[in-house]
Each structure stands twice: as structure tokens, then as C-alpha cells.
Homo-oligomer: A and B are copies of this chain.
Amino acid sequence: EIVAAIEAALTDGPLKGRRIVITSGPTHEPIDPVRYIANRSSGAQGTAIANALVRLGAEVVFVSGPASAPPPLGVTLVKVETAQQMHDAVMQALPADAAVFAAAVADWRAASQSAQKIKKTREGLPTLSFAENPDILAAVSQLTEGRPGLVVGFAAETDNVIEHATAKRARKGCDWIVANDVSPATGIMGGTENAVTLISADGAEDWPRMGKDLVADRLAERIADALTGKD
């Protein structure tokens, strides 16, 4: 893979000279010094997309939460933990030709983070209240200045996948949504395969179930087509 990354950097791929920001992995939102809320995300799909884009010659800024998948090679790696940190890192990484938001960002964080470990008490159980995290996809999609030419979001759903994802695309203002069904029965979360639907202005396009690497290759090709006017 090191060889592939170097080869890509030396060759003239279709994305040569294009800068692409990718987010990947989960975010961790601290509750207190020892507890946090997390999303299930191995970072495997985001890493695969980054590798595919690098192979096509792109300059990739990879903003990653604490993922279990090893980070891609040949990218600028920015490690973050929380949604707020991810938001700030993405904004700093702009301008870019495209942005791909593959991270599983926590929608909420604990409204107040305790500096001390919360103890069990006889008075009973704690109740957590939440504050809303910055919506990175919406913020970048709705930039009036410096919006990337192509903004791609992801939608991990467990029911009414296409309906939810189509509504999400309209609500956020992004160009594409890569939607998938992460119900436990599909085995997609944490697995090596993915079955996605690409939602764009043209409608919903179902891709067959395939390896996450192949999903990444196909998406990277589509991004290259879009950025080079072949789409």
C-alpha cells in the first residue's frame, strides 16, 4: 500500500491536483473522565475511500475520530475525538474541491461534562441531558463562500433507508448521500462488505452488496467523474 500511495503521487491520476477532505470513524463524547458516548464505526469504509482517492491522485486530508481500522497511507492525517473537534478540523482543512463525510458523528454530547468521575449514590441514578453537536455536513453544504464543489454525506439507517436518506440530502443541502442499512441483521457494521444506495439530484441508485474496498473504488471513480466534468 505504501508502494501504491507513492505510485499514485508520482502518476497523473484523474484527481491529480484535487484536494479532498474526508471524515471517518466514530466520535467519542465524554460524559466524565472515564465514560463517553460513542457511535459504532470501525472507520473501514472511510479509510477505503481515502485509499481509493489517493490512488486516483487526490491530495487527501483525512480527519479521523478514534477508529479501529488503520488510517490510510499517503494522506494528511488529523486525529480528533469529539464532533466539535472534527468540525473545527474540517473547517481548517477547507478550501477543498470535494468533501466526503463518512464519519459516524455523534449528534449529541453530554450537556455538561463532569470533571470528576460520577459516583453511584444512594439517591439513585443519574440522568444525562444532551446538547446538540455541530452538524458538519449541513455547515459545509450550506457555506455561502468556499463551499467544496462536491459535498458527499453518509446516512446509516436502520429503517426506511431511501426515504430517510433522501430527506437528509434535502435537509442538509449536500450533493450526494451514500445511504446504507446498518441493522444488525445485515452484518454491515463492523463487517467487510457494504450495500449502499447513492442518492443524488438524479434519484436513488442501488449498488449491489460488495466489499467496502469496491464500494470505495466505485465512489472514488464517481467523484473523479464529477470533478472532471464527466458526470
Contacts and interface: CB of A to CB of B under 8 A. Distances in A.
Interface of A: 28, 31, 33-40, 68, 104, 106-108, 115-117, 119-120, 125-132, 156-159, 164, 182-184, 189
B156 A34 contact: yes
B34 A40 contact: yes
Specify how many copies of this chain sit in the oligomer.
Answer: 2
A222 B14 CA distance: 64
A38 B36 CA distance: 5
A183 B33 contact: yes
Contacts of A117: 156-159, 182
10 contacts: A33-B184, A33-B189, A34-B158, A35-B37, A36-B37, A37-B38, A108-B126, A116-B159, A125-B132, A127-B129
Contacts of A115: 158
Contacts of A125: 108, 129-132
